[in-house]
Amino acid sequence: MKVKTFGSTGRDVTIVGLGGEGVLRTHGRLTEAKAVINAAVDEGISYFDSAHVYADSELYYGEIWKACPDKRLGVFQASKSASRDREGALADLESTLDRMQTDYLDLWQIHDVRTAQDLDMISGKGGALEAFLEAKDSGKVRFIGVTGHHDPHILTRAVQDWPVDSVMMPVNPIEGILGGFLTGTMPLAKEKGVAVIAMKILGGGHFIIPELDITPALLTRYALSKDIDVAIVGCSTPAEVKALSDHGSAFEPVSDSEEAELLKAMKPYAERMAFYRGVI
């Protein structure tokens, strides 16, 4: 599995990671979730995504890390808090650490920043940013980040104004058509040495169009051809994990002509498929 250095952190991560969607964002499916997480570990994937609001996701991870502490030491574990105030975020972190059966996170992210009001609340007095900086100073988290998929201008402001180590954003052909995340947020992140985590690379499966020969492999290649550090995909079965791992291991960048044809094919669907921006 190919690896890249995660921004300016000095840590290496595999170029594909296990996303927090799929079977992980469920309740009461521990056996299936453990099979997916263990398959990812066995495939050599090192980046593992979660969030405090992702159903039982953190509990699923905790069951494995508690039983096999050596596995926890070998992975880059990320989670997120959507709380906008300091106290709420700190409470989320303590809950996350308890649920995950770990005493630290490799990456803790300010989750789903959408509006100017979010920016003001998070960075104002008593805001969540205070909690994130405190947690990093205390060693409870190694690095901090921000995520967003609604408004590229808002996410760009967060990367510009906050001392984050990473940014998670959508990277897919729809973004290549609409612009914003790839043309504004990403270049600024790279200029500042901020790691870029690509999400929604398959659009929750909506971007897979067999009749146009748009496959998961092609969409993964598209994302990995951009200036990102890791692309994450939620999986529901070990077979899906194996496919993701294979796509990462056999990665070859898309050519200019392939990209042009892909964007041309998807352009008629662009605004409808950008559902995660809230534009429908």
Instruction: Give the residue carrying structure tokens 């510009």.
Output: 160
Summarize the confidence of residues 259-270 as an average pLDDT. Answer: 95
Summarize the confidence of residues 230-239 as an average pLDDT. Answer: 98
Summarize the confidence of residues 234-241 as an average pLDDT. Answer: 98
Q: How many angstroms separate the first and last alpha carbons of the chain? A: 37
Residue 280's pLDDT is: 42
119's tokens:
């920016």
Strands 3-5 and 230-235: what pairing?
unpaired
Residue 279's pLDDT is: 59
- If pLDDT is split at 50, 70 and 90, which confidence band does 271 have? confident
Read off the pLDDT of residues 193-208 as tens digits, 9 standing for 90 and up: 999 999 999 998 999 9
Residue 45's pLDDT is: 98
24-44 burial string, b = 16+ CB within 10 Å, else e?
bbbeebeebbbbbbebbbebe
What are the distances in angstroms from CA 218 to CA 63, 226, 269?
34, 13, 17
Q: Count other Cβ atoms within 10 Å, centred on residue 270.
A: 16
Average predicted confidence (pLDDT) for the chain: 97
280's tokens:
């429908």
What one-character DSSP code corresponds to residue 214?
Answer: B
- If pLDDT is split at 50, 70 and 90, which confidence band does 1 have? confident
What one-character DSSP code corresponds to residue 54?
Answer: S
Residue 246's pLDDT is: 97
pTM metric for this prediction: 0.97
For the chain, percent of residues with pLDDT exceeding 70: 99
Read off the pLDDT of residues 87-140 as tens digits, 9 standing for 90 and up: 999 999 999 999 999 999 999 999 999 999 999 999 999 999 999 999 999 999
Summarize the confidence of residues 256-265 as an average pLDDT. Answer: 96
Read off the pLDDT of residues 140-158 as tens digits, 9 standing for 90 and up: 999 999 999 999 999 999 9
Mention every residue, 6+ apart, whose C-beta is less than 8 A from residue 98.
Answer: none
Q: How far is CA 38 from the centre of its chain?
A: 19
CA distance 133 to 136: 5
Can you give the residue ranges of every domain in the chain?
A: 3-275
What are the distances in angstroms from CA 254 to CA 154, 173, 224?
29, 12, 9
Residue 190's pLDDT is: 98
CATH placement of domain 3-275: 3.20.20.100
Q: Is the pLDDT of residue 278 over 90?
A: no
Instruction: Give the residue carrying structure tokens 């662009």.
Output: 270
Using alpha carbons only, what angle is made at residue 183 by residues 180 and 189, rounded to the nearest 5 degrees? 100
Q: Which residues pair with 80 in a beta bridge?
A: 109
